[in-house]
Amino acid sequence: MHRICTAVGPKLPHETSTFSDRAVRGITCRPKAAVAAALWLVLLGATPRVCMAQSGEPIKPIPLEPQLDLRKVALGDRLFHDKRLSKDNSLSCASCHDLSKGGVDGLPSSIGIGGAKGPINAPTVFNSSLNFRQFWDGRAASLEEQVAGPVHNPKEMGSNWTEVLGKLAQDGPLVGEFKATYRDGLQTRNIQDAIAVFERSLTTPNSRIDKYLKGDQKALSPDELLGYQLFKAYGCVACQGVNIGGNMFQTFGVMGDYFEKRGNTTVADLGRYNVTKSEADKHVFKVPSLRNVALTAPYFHDGSAKTLNDAVDVMFKYQLGRPASAQDKKLIVKFLHTLTGEYKGRPLQRADSDAARQP
């Protein structure tokens, strides 16, 4: 069933309603909502749900603490950083999803075993539990299913569960930890479960926008608040909910052919088509979350946008199909910096902090 999305907020100067009604994956967007179905995509999509936060805003704060089995969290943490999951013992999950770098590796595309260059940009692992599907093409329905992907991918870890189990079984303390945590001990499904539970612990509440939504009127500066109002007025409010993205698929290039302009189309550029083989799914991707977006450069599935400013420019051109002043874009970028949350009670930062600097 299609949902109806509408752009909320004041009409912008010289705004016209020239966009034809169009169906956007999972939602039906009317003229101004076509705008909505786009700029969100400050990373690649738009979101359909209308979930009002306590303050009456369309974005909801992240709950403070997920209720999880702490033994599984600890075991999953250990496995997430264990290089024995890769064939040559050179890579762990954290190699491409570095928690000290915003949950990414900072590369346009990740490097696998033997220096193999992967085909796509690594999405952040932070708040991944709030996504409705996993991977850019949405091929995994759960975090548990997602865990198996990199282990078996020849350009990532290049291994298999038989090899992984064989290596881990030689680690007495680890085997004991599995027995203490799971009734049937060291098993493939328990490795997947433990890592998935750990990943569910990687939420980042208490961003400044969350504090504002909870009633702290001083959490945002005047410029950031104006950026938030522009974010809504331009139609970005279509991306809402707890994760500010991550809950629908969207075509990259709603208002223009991004791939024709960029050139050198790859298999990864086909997006969801690689899963469904449906022509309608070509260049369709899962909308990524905007949470902590200031820390996760470069942007898009191809890592082509080096900065948030670059990403916003692309989104106005190919998703909104409309102009915006340099000042408006600057204010929106300032607002996006307020989406950085906390991990383990401390503000999330990126070790190579150049990517996280305020413009």
Separation between Cα atoms, residue 253 and residue 311, nearest integer Å: 13
Q: Taken in order 34, 36, 37, 41, is the CA torsion positive or negative?
A: positive
Q: Which of 200, 218, 243 is the last residue of a domain?
A: 200
User: What pTM value is reported for the model?
Assistant: 0.84
Residue 254 belongs to what domain range?
3-62+204-356
Residue segments in the chain with a per-residue pLDDT below the cut of 70: 1-55, 237, 239-240, 352-359
Question: Would residue 145 show up in a list of annotated catalytic residues for this protein?
Answer: no
Number of domains observed in the structure of the chain: 2
Percentages of the chain per state (helix, strand, coil), in multiples of 5: 40, 10, 50
pLDDT score of 173: 98
Residues 191, 177: one domain? yes
pLDDT score of 247: 87
Residues 209, 352: one domain? yes
Residues 26, 139: one domain? no
Separation between Cα atoms, residue 281 and residue 272, nearest integer Å: 5
The active-site residue, picked from 57, 156, 199, 224, is 156
Residues 81, 43: one domain? no
- 279-310 pLDDT, tens digit each: 999 999 999 999 999 999 999 999 999 999 99
Question: What is the residue-wise DSSP string for 307-324?
Answer: SHHHHHHHHIIIII-S--
What would the 3-class secondary structure string for 207-274 be? CHHHHHHCCCCCCCCHHHHHHHHHHHHCCHHHCCECCCCCCCEEECCCCCCHHHHHCCCCCHHHECHH
Residues 230, 338: one domain? yes
Give the count of beta carbons closer than 10 Å to the beta carbon of residue 26: 21
pLDDT score of 203: 97
Residues 91, 218: one domain? no
Residues 46, 181: one domain? no
Residue 141 belongs to domain with CATH number: 1.10.760.10
- 52-62 pLDDT, tens digit each: 444 478 889 99
